[in-house]
Homo-oligomer: A and B are copies of this chain.
Amino acid sequence: MTDLNKGNYMYRPEITVVDCTIRDGGLMNKSNFSMELVRAVYKAICASGIQVVELGYRNSKKLFDPKEYGPWRFCDEAVLRDVVGEKKGDTKIAVMMDSHKADYNDLLPREKSVVDMVRVATYVKDIDKAIKIEQEARARGYQTTINIMAISHTIEWELDEALQQIDKETEVQACYIVDSFGALYSEDIDYYVQKYRKYLHNKEIGIHCHNSMQLAFANTIEGIIKNANWLDATLCGMGRASGNCATELLLGFLKNPKFDLRPVLDVVGAHIYPLREHISWGGEIIPFQIAGMLNMRPDEALKLMELPKNDPARNNYRAFYERSVAPGED
């Protein structure tokens, strides 16, 4: 019998929810959300009791052209102040910096910034860059996380070494398992959480799932059961390709009485769900499912979904599967 005293079902105060709709969702529209929408998301997340809202990337304008990408790829301080308005809510504001696409010189001292937290996203091979950004952000007064992307494509000893470095050289609030390709099953979540627990001392474990196989919410719960306490989610699961764990489902599951689902339902109905008319994300889309089950980057599936709806190639799932299983002579 499941031990219900383990606290899986009850309110666990250590749990921190991070809504990253504008950041991860921004990968589907080049971070081109309207100010009105981002303000509505910010207000709703504050009202819901969620602890952290990530309002975009702070990536380098040398690497992303501001003519091509919207303001939430850069999160200039003036733009964020415009979101927040006169009175900042209790919810902390995070921005994400890609270890290979961001410059820590773009960070003001925290007391001059509206940002509270810098989340550094990195591949294992860029871990030294990530640690440098973490250290610089921390020196400026920010809370930090490091989010290890593409976990299902790592070479194990390199991952182990990266985790040991993070443990020794940083003071992150949390270190994340990022299932970028939506390729993990529950037993894989167990495996990675245990690995992280082995190497990381006095640091929380975070989990960021993609929904390629409709497992993002389930894997997030599995993380909770195994004692991961930092949980990423997005409204309607909006995010790259298959998207993420849905914030509304996660709040429906968590028992912390401070969470209120209602403001989340409001912003979902008024602002996020309608975006599905023009942007295709979600775990019900077959090419994303195929990419997930084959542990592939979703790029080719995304290209397929950009074809016109009446293009027969778009619905030829067998052909997509065949060229994905055996794409060449490798």
B-contacting residues of A (Cβ < 8 Å)? Answer: 1-2, 4, 8-9, 185-187, 190-191, 194, 211, 213-219, 221-222, 225, 236-237, 246, 248-249, 252-253, 261-262, 265-266, 268-270, 273-274, 282-284, 286, 289-290, 293, 315-318, 321-322
- In whole angstroms, how far apart are the Cα atoms of A4 and B270 in the complex? 46
Is the beta-carbon distance between A318 and B2 smaller than 8 angstroms? Answer: no
- In whole angstroms, how far apart are the Cα atoms of A211 and B253 in the complex? 15
Protomer copies: 2
- In whole angstroms, how far apart are the Cα atoms of A236 and B282 in the complex? 13
Quick one: closest B residue to A265, CB to CB? Answer: B317
A-B CB proximity, top 10 nearest: A218-B218, A252-B293, A265-B317, A269-B315, A269-B317, A265-B318, A2-B187, A2-B190, A282-B284, A214-B214
- Choice from B211, B214, B270, B293 contacting A211 with Cβ under 8 Å: B214
Q: How far is the CB of A308 from chain B (nearest CB, A)?
A: 15
Q: How far is the CB of A79 from chain B (nearest CB, A)?
A: 28
Is the beta-carbon distance between B248 and A318 smaller than 8 angstroms? Answer: no
Q: How far is the CB of A37 from chain B (nearest CB, A)?
A: 15
Is the beta-carbon distance between A2 and B321 smaller than 8 angstroms? Answer: no
Is the beta-carbon distance between A315 and B2 smaller than 8 angstroms? Answer: no
Is the beta-carbon distance between A191 and B318 smaller than 8 angstroms? Answer: no
Is the beta-carbon distance between A289 and B214 smaller than 8 angstroms? Answer: no
Taking chain A's interface residues, is the majority helix, strand, or loop, or is none over half, making it mixed? helix
- In whole angstroms, how far apart are the Cα atoms of A222 and B219 in the complex? 11
Q: Known: A211-B214, A213-B217, A215-B218. Is A286-B315 also a contact (CB below 8 A)?
A: no
Instruction: Collect the chain B residues with CB atoms within 8 Å of residue A187's CB.
Output: 2, 4, 8-9, 225
- Choice from B2, B185, B236, B261 contacting A221 with Cβ under 8 Å: B185
- In whole angstroms, how far apart are the Cα atoms of A269 and B290 in the complex? 13
- In whole angstroms, how far apart are the Cα atoms of A163 and B161 in the complex? 52
Is the beta-carbon distance between B273 and A286 smaller than 8 angstroms? Answer: yes
Quick one: closest B residue to A277, CB to CB? Answer: B309
Is the beta-carbon distance between B215 and A217 smaller than 8 angstroms? Answer: yes
Instruction: Collect the chain B residues with CB atoms within 8 Å of residue A218's CB.
Output: 186, 214-215, 217-219
Instruction: Offer 8 A-B interface pairs, CB within 8 angstroms, sorted by A.
Output: A2-B190, A186-B218, A186-B222, A213-B252, A214-B283, A252-B290, A262-B318, A266-B318
- In whole angstroms, how far apart are the Cα atoms of A216 and B215 in the complex? 9
Instruction: Collect the chain B residues with CB atoms within 8 Å of residue A191's CB.
Output: 1-2
Which residue among A194, A211, A218, A321 has the maximum number of chain B CB atoms within 10 Å of its CB?
Answer: A218
Instruction: Collect the chain B residues with CB atoms within 8 Å of residue A268's CB.
Output: 286, 317
Instruction: Collect the chain B residues with CB atoms within 8 Å of residue A273's CB.
Output: 286, 315
Instruction: Collect the chain B residues with CB atoms within 8 Å of residue A249's CB.
Output: 213-214, 289, 293
Instruction: Collect the chain B residues with CB atoms within 8 Å of residue A282's CB.
Output: 284
Q: How far is the CB of A95 from chain B (nearest CB, A)?
A: 28
Is the beta-carbon distance between A214 and B216 smaller than 8 angstroms? Answer: yes
